[in-house]
Amino acid sequence: MINFHQKFGRRTVALFWLVLVAILIGVLIYLEQIAILYVLATLALVVLLLIVAFADLESIGREDIEGSASNN
């Protein structure tokens, strides 16, 4: 399998995922599979909430945020 992160940048890989998800949603809407869209939206929201819930935000100080912003 091709390692996309070596060949493409992070933004390009993210754009590929975005286009793939948009095509999938468009096809499901065209085929009128709204029930599947509800399930996928619910699962995506649960995953997002779990990511936020388990994020270690306490270990990130204001200095870390300001330091990374000044490096860009």
- List, in order, residues 6 or more apart from 59 with CB less than 8 Å away: none
Q: How far is CA 66 from CA 52, 58, 61, 72, in A?
A: 21, 16, 9, 10
Helix (H) or strand (E) holding 34: helix 34-54
Each residue's pLDDT tens digit, 44-60:
999 999 998 888 777 76
Express each pLDDT in 27-42 by its tens digit: 999 999 999 999 999 9
Would you kindly state where each structural domain of the chain is located, as residue ranges? Answer: 4-71
Instruction: Give the global pTM.
Output: 0.58
Say what the pLDDT of residue 9 is: 86
Total residue length of the chain:
72
